[in-house]
Amino acid sequence: MTERDLLQLRQVSRHFGSFRALDEVDLTVRRGARHAVIGPNGAGKSTLFGLISGTLATTGGTILVDGKDVTRLPVDRRVGLGVAATFQHSSLFLRETVLENVLLAVLRRARARAAAGAGAGLGGWRRVSARTESIEQARTLLARVGLPGRHDVLAAALSHGERRQLEVAVALATEPRLLLLDEPAAGMSPAEAARLTELVAALPADVTVLLIEHDLDMVFELADTVTVMHLGRHLTTGSPDQVRASSEVQSAYLGTMEAAS
Ligand code: ADP
Ligand code: MG
């Protein structure tokens, strides 16, 4: 791992009983990368994200973020280190409003920072102004993901595509350095997917993005690096052109994925 790298997985495994959902995967993600992970269903992509975000425990190997071993850290500590994820199965609070969902994430980030010793506890008017600031941040994020004017709607009332947009706003609210997006375009209309692609492309260069996506147009438009997984194993990592040109990937994986979608 060098200074250039933000994330490194060394021989990371996750077994469920005798089943190897992930088997000794090595992966390095460069700082500022737009790194896509592709592979057929069941390849272990979502499991990989669970291990990186901390929602799932490893059964072997080491995960480093910025050189720090996070393998055994709980989710909140990883959020404090700048790791944020959207999940394939939504983690929104459906009975809360759109604004509340983002606001909760903004406040979570503030708490994680305070727990990391970044600031003393706030009292009196400073707490009030911190809340006003947090609401302002939440509004800005909602505008950024394309959900202005939807603040007071319950998350449950959003369309599928809008929920995914909200999930991205929730993830961005934690001011991540590493943003994990698990099939963000799944179930979106082509217009919604195009808008999401623009949003991800416009993220600041210092936000490193690791993206699982079946929409290969989106992958090849956004990604500077592509990793292909298959049956719990790392198959190959390269530039989009290298991956597209790899006959092994072509015949075995891109073909089946395109056929499946
Ligand atoms: P992908 O996201 O690439 O489609 P997943 O990471 O979701 O793949 O799943 C990889 C494999 O691990 C699949 O065969 C899946 O059935 C299995 N798996 C995932 N989670 C569990 C679990 N909690 N218990 C048992 N098997 C699981
Ligand atoms: Mg998945």
173 Cβ neighbours under 8 A, 6+ residues apart = 102, 103, 105, 106, 108, 109, 137, 138, 141
Q: Which of 14, 25, 46, 182 to mutate to test the pocket of ligand 1 (most atoms within 8 A of CB)?
A: 46
pLDDT tens column, 124-149: 556 667 788 899 999 999 998 888 88
At residue 8 the predicted structure's pLDDT band, cuts being 50, 70 and 90, is very high
Residue with tokens 């495994």: 13
User: Is the confidence at residue 237, as pLDDT, over 60?
Assistant: yes
| pLDDT over 70 percentage in the chain | 88
Please name the residue whose Cα sits nearest to atom 22 of ligand 1.
Answer: 16
Q: How far apart are CA 83 and CA 50, in angstroms?
A: 11
Answer yes or no: pTM beyond 0.75.
yes
pLDDT tens column, 165-181: 899 899 899 889 999 99
Element (H, E) at 170: helix 160-173
Which pair of tokens denotes residue 183?
Answer: 């099939």
Q: Averaged over 196-212, what is the pLDDT? A: 91
Please name the residue whose Cα sits nearest to atom 16 of ligand 1.
Answer: 42
Whether 147 and 98 have beta carbons less than 8 Å apart is answered as yes
User: Is the confidence at residue 31, as pLDDT, over 50?
Assistant: yes
Find the radius of gyration of the CA atoms of the chain. 19
Q: What separation in Å is there between the alpha carbon of 189 and the centre of ligand 1?
A: 26
Candidates 9, 45, 63, 72; CA nearest to 181 is 45
* pLDDT, mean over the chain: 88
User: Is the confidence at residue 116, as pLDDT, over 60?
Assistant: yes
199 Cβ neighbours under 8 A, 6+ residues apart = 144, 145, 146, 168
Q: What separation in Å is there between the alpha carbon of 25 and the centre of ligand 2?
A: 16
Whether 112 and 80 have beta carbons less than 8 Å apart is answered as yes
Q: What separation in Å is there between the alpha carbon of 44 and the centre of ligand 2?
A: 7
CA separation (Å) from 167 to 110, 153, 249, 260? 18, 15, 31, 25
Which listed ligand is nearest to 21 at the C-alpha?
1
**Lining residues, ligand 1, CB within 6 Å:** 16, 19, 21, 39, 41-47
Task: Specify the higher pLDDT residue, 256 or 115.
Answer: 115
Q: Averaged over 149-169, what is the pLDDT? A: 91
Q: Averaged over 114-121, what is the pLDDT? A: 60
Q: What separation in Å is there between the alpha carbon of 229 and the centre of ligand 2?
A: 11
